[in-house]
């Protein structure tokens, strides 16, 4: 009768634990993320803020009135054209193009004013939207609907070139 062969194992097999088919995974430790701090709104002098807010409302009213009047003028001019006025149409087209550009600029400015008023209401007015640093009071007085400090605005203009 033949004797069964003895199983021999190498040292590396002896050192390795037997796999049971199921991997044991240590439970993951959860680390709470530190709370994200919102940037603190800049401390703007309340009198300056009120001055700027009034200026924005005044400018919004003026621009709204201008846009409305210019649109009315453009409608009236379009209704007054006759085929006999072909010579005048070339000059009128140039005038209309200029009016459209002015309307576009004024409409964009109205949008910026609305966004500035929104920033005043939510407490973020006077903070640069790029670097999150306070915008100087002089810049806010000069351009009350600005959302960028002078450094970031210059950088933006340099990048646009």
pLDDT tens for each residue of 22-32: 556 555 566 66
80: DSSP letter: T
Residue 56's pLDDT band (boundaries 50, 70, 90)? very high
What confidence tens digit (pLDDT) does each residue in 126-155 have?
999 999 999 999 999 999 999 999 999 999
CATH number of the domain within which 156 lies: 1.20.120.910
State the total domains in the chain.
1
The answer to the question of residue 121 being in a domain is: yes
Percentage of residues of the chain with pLDDT beyond 70: 63
Query: What is the domain extent for residue 64?
Result: 46-79+88-160
The answer to the question of residue 8 being in a domain is: no
User: For the whole model, what pTM was predicted?
Assistant: 0.61
Q: For residue 25, what pLDDT is reported?
A: 59
Tell me which range, 25-34, 55-64, 81-90, is most confidently predicted by mean pLDDT: 55-64
The answer to the question of residue 30 being in a domain is: no
């Amino acid at each position: 009768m033949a004797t069964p062969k003895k199983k021999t194992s190498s040292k590396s097999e002896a050192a390795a634990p037997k796999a049971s088919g199921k991997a044991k995974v240590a439970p993951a430790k959860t680390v709470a993320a530190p709370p994200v701090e919102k940037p603190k709104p800049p401390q703007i002098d309340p009198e300056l803020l009120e001055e700027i807010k009034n200026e924005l409302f005044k400018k919004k009213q003026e621009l709204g009135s201008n846009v409305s009047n210019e649109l009315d003028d453009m409608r009236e001019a379009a209704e007054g054209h006759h085929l006999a006025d072909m010579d005048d149409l070339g000059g009128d087209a140039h005038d209309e193009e200029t009016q459209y550009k002015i309307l576009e600029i004024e409409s964009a400015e109205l949008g910026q004013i609305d966004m500035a008023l929104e920033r005043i209401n939510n407490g973020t007015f006077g903070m640069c939207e790029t670097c999150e640093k306070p915008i100087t009071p002089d810049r806010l007085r000069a351009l009350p609907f600005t959302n960028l400090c002078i450094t970031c605005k210059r950088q933006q203009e340099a990048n646009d070139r």
